[in-house]
A and B are shown apart, each in its own frame.
Chain A
Amino acid sequence: MSIFNKAVRTAALAAVLSSVSMVAVMAADVTLTLISAENDAVVAPVIEAFEASHPGIKVEHQSIPFESMNAAIEARIGGGDSSIDVLFVDSPRVPSMVARGYLKSLEDLRSEIEPLVTPVALDALSVDGTIYTLPLWTSTQMMFYNKDLLDKAGIPHPGADQADRLTYEQILDLGSKAQAAGAKYGFAFEQIDRYYQLQPIFESIGGGSGLTGAGNLTPDITNDKWVEGATFYAKMFEDGIAPRGIPAGQVPPLFASGEVAFLVGGPWRLAGYTSTEGLNFGVAPVPYFANGKPVTPTGSWALAVSPHSAHPEEAMALAKFMTLDPQGAFKTVEANPIPPVNLEAFKLYSAWFAPKFPGVGDDAQKIMGYELRDSAVSRPLSTGFVAFEEVMNRVFGDLRNGADVKSTLEDAQRELNSTLARIQ
């Protein structure tokens, strides 16, 4: 009996001691979870800087594939999962997430945010005048070209000035020429079947964004200009100038391995391409249609704190560090050269950018400057954007694989009418 009592007392003491030490550990260390569609290496510098300046808070990054980001947010934030603290949010998805209650108002931070961003950027963070996300990145595009492949085909290197901008028609001709001289593919988009990068085709040709009407909830993808743009897009693959059957994530390495002559991509590609041995490349502005206007995509990820975060204060500290603190915001782009929205961080970024990428940095910076100012078009803001984007990404996949242009667009228009009516 005495042995039994002794054992009970020992067990009770051990339980008390372990619970005391557990409380001590919990008080000292909070681990936050950050989710994004980026590689760990992209957020590593900012996490390191945050952890150094906030002892006791650790940050764990979970990288989710871009294609699964919507589903992950729906399932986890929608399901009340408290294990996500801070999340990356693609700007045009903000209205849809607000409508579903996945984002909380950040109006109490207005006085801190307003001086740090342009009015246009502030609009992208807001829905009906209420701020819901914190300003992280914006984006633009440029056209990378492989100098060696162009030289082999006797194609002069395109210039980096606005006046040197080539047309899509010229690019397809030059791409074919480069293929005849040995390039595997003539031209490709980095995000080869995603709406973000393909919207400019339809905007440039005059077809519009694809959404119109009150709240951008009416699909408009069967007008003549959309059919014309989609026919151009489908022809790139039909003629073998752009690759079929290769997922979007595997397209950028094709340029790095010298298989593509021209590639429209984001400035974030500069880091990888400049460090690729044997890749001799330059940058030029994104093409446009001869009978249209220059258009480039813009907008990017913003940052939000999950309404279900188990550590809302620490999560907000991380979110503010990554967006409102100029040094912190700059750290988010150090391993991923994309323009930060924070104007103070943008100054640091501008001074750092060109010397960081010798040979192409000056041209890239020049292109980014005028594209962001003159040709940038945002994706349509709509509570139906998430559904629209998913349908359009599938449409582009089908067109790429050789589906009939007109019937594919008409079918998608019917689907969107039906889906968006449920959202209205």
Chain B
Amino acid sequence: MSKTKNIYVALAFLAPALLAVVCLRIWPALLSVHESLLAPRATTYSLENYIYIFGDPIFQSSVWTTLFFSIVVNPLQIAISLGLAILLNNKLPGTGFWRTLVLLPVAIPASVSAVVWAAALRPDGLMNALLGLFGLGPQPFLTSPQQALACIILVTSWIGVGYWMTILLAGLQDIPKSLYEAARIDGMNRWQQFINVTLPQLRRPLTFVLVADTVSNFLVFAPVQILTRGGPQRSTNLIMHEIYNRAFAAGDKSSAYAATVVLILLMLTIVAIQFRMMSDKGES
């Protein structure tokens, strides 16, 4: 088979995926850029929508809230996922049961999880009843601007951790046992094995989990909409919710498009930095 023919065959196989990427990703992104440059009722391109959103304290606060949320939630979820993966990689009694239990929230739609948590986190809900058993006073949870974002982090982590854990677990099981045997012969303790064998060997799955988790946490929407609708006092108004609000509540689609472009650029920048850091680490 000639090289050209090979390329055609490869393209034919790739066509459905490429078509999906163009129609569902690239085209909407380009459309967002186009629309974001058109101010309401305007027919010529301008940066008016961008000037408007960057001058708007509500948009500014949603960007800061999102960045703070990302800085906390991503390391937290990855650390918990990795911890659980290592724990469940050992031959503990009932490992299959525990793995299923941790993975179960992934199988439940995010909206259903949020509804269940909304009931549990009500002032007269299950969580406060549990705190009461331990002699702790009732907490305001979702009604407090100081606690609501922490509740969103709790719910998104509850949903996501099992999924990321499964990927890391698969990565752990791919590490050759001989590497650990060699490390033990060299006199490494468990911690040294983790640092010198497990982490370097997990670099690829960890890079994937880091990037995918970051992107998915930038796009968190359902738990915010169901649990807090961005409140109290905009303390949980993540950028996705702000875009939704602008487009569908305020009916200001122009500024929603501009905010979408800002979100895409923000995500691309952070993901590019992550790739760079992870590959540098690998080379060193």
Find out whether the CB atom of B248 lies under 8 angstroms from the CB atom of A100.
Answer: no
A415 and B58 in contact, given A100-B251, A245-B142, A423-B251 (Cβ under 8 angstroms): yes
Which of chain B's residues has its CB closest to A259's CB? Answer: B124
Cβ distance B207 to chain A, nearest Cβ, rounded Å: 35
Q: Which residues of B sit under 8 angstroms from A70, Cβ to Cβ?
A: 248-249
Query: Quick check: is A12 within 8 A (CB to CB) of the other chain?
Result: no
Query: Quick check: is A51 within 8 A (CB to CB) of the other chain?
Result: no
For the side of the interface on A, what is the size category?
A: 20 to 34
Bound-state CA distance A67–B115 (Å) is 14
Chain A residues 371 to 413 lying within 8 A of chain B, measured CB to CB, are 386-387, 390-391, 394, 397-398, 400-403, 408
Bound-state CA distance A244–B162 (Å) is 32
- Residue-wise, chain B 230-257 has the 8 Å CB interface mask toward A (1 for contact) of 1111000000000011011111101100
Query: Quick check: is B105 within 8 A (CB to CB) of the other chain?
Result: no
A386 and B143 in contact, given A394-B230, A397-B229, A408-B233 (Cβ under 8 angstroms): no
Query: Quick check: is B186 within 8 A (CB to CB) of the other chain?
Result: no
Q: Which residues of A sit under 8 angstroms from B254, Cβ to Cβ?
A: 422
Cβ distance B114 to chain A, nearest Cβ, rounded Å: 12
**Total A-B residue contacts, Cβ distance less than 8 Å:** 77
Q: Which residues of A sit under 8 angstroms from B144, Cβ to Cβ?
A: 401-402
Find out whether the CB atom of B231 lies under 8 angstroms from the CB atom of A397.
Answer: yes
Find out whether the CB atom of B249 lies under 8 angstroms from the CB atom of A390.
Answer: yes
Cβ distance B2 to chain A, nearest Cβ, rounded Å: 31
Chain B residues 1 to 48 lying within 8 A of chain A, measured CB to CB, are 40
Q: Which residues of A sit under 8 angstroms from B244, Cβ to Cβ?
A: 71
Find out whether the CB atom of B123 lies under 8 angstroms from the CB atom of A390.
Answer: no
Determine which of A244, A386, A391, A408 lies in contact with B123 in the assembled complex, contact meaning CB atoms within 8 Å. Answer: A244
Cβ distance B13 to chain A, nearest Cβ, rounded Å: 27
Find out whether the CB atom of B232 lies under 8 angstroms from the CB atom of A75.
Answer: no
Determine which of A71, A386, A387, A401 lies in contact with B231 in the assembled complex, contact meaning CB atoms within 8 Å. Answer: A401
Chain B residues 88 to 140 lying within 8 A of chain A, measured CB to CB, are 118, 121-124, 140
Q: Which residues of A sit under 8 angstroms from B230, Cβ to Cβ?
A: 394
Cβ distance A416 to chain B, nearest Cβ, rounded Å: 10
Query: Quick check: is A96 within 8 A (CB to CB) of the other chain?
Result: yes
Interface of chain B: mostly helix, strand, loop or mixed: loop
Query: Quick check: is A313 within 8 A (CB to CB) of the other chain?
Result: no
Determine which of A243, A401, A419 lies in contact with B250 in the assembled complex, contact meaning CB atoms within 8 Å. Answer: A419
A74 and B248 in contact, given A398-B231, A398-B233 (Cβ under 8 angstroms): yes
Query: Quick check: is B163 within 8 A (CB to CB) of the other chain?
Result: no
Q: Which of A71, A74, A245 has the most CB of B within 10 A?
A: A245
Determine which of A67, A74, A96, A244 lies in contact with B143 in the assembled complex, contact meaning CB atoms within 8 Å. Answer: A244
Q: Which residues of A sit under 8 angstroms from B249, Cβ to Cβ?
A: 70-71, 386-387, 390
Query: Quick check: is B174 within 8 A (CB to CB) of the other chain?
Result: no
Cβ distance A112 to chain B, nearest Cβ, rounded Å: 31
Bound-state CA distance A402–B232 (Å) is 9
Q: Which residues of A sit under 8 angstroms from B141, Cβ to Cβ?
A: 245
A75 and B123 in contact, given A401-B232, A403-B232, A422-B255 (Cβ under 8 angstroms): no
Query: Quick check: is B56 within 8 A (CB to CB) of the other chain?
Result: yes
Which of chain B's residues has its CB closest to A244's CB? Answer: B143
Can you give 30 A-B contacts (C-beta < 8 A)?
A: A71-B249, A74-B247, A74-B251, A75-B248, A100-B251, A243-B124, A244-B143, A245-B123, A247-B118, A386-B249, A386-B250, A386-B251, A390-B245, A390-B250, A394-B229, A394-B231, A401-B140, A401-B143, A401-B144, A401-B233, A402-B143, A402-B232, A403-B233, A408-B233, A415-B58, A418-B56, A419-B250, A419-B252, A422-B40, A422-B252
- Interface of B with A (CB < 8 Å)? 40, 52, 56-58, 118, 121-124, 140-145, 229-233, 244-245, 247-252, 254-255
- Interface of A with B (CB < 8 Å)? 67, 70-71, 74-75, 96, 100, 243-247, 386-387, 390-391, 394, 397-398, 400-403, 408, 414-415, 418-419, 422-423
Q: 8 shortest A-B CB distances, which residue pairs? A: A71-B248, A390-B249, A245-B123, A401-B232, A401-B143, A387-B250, A74-B248, A245-B143
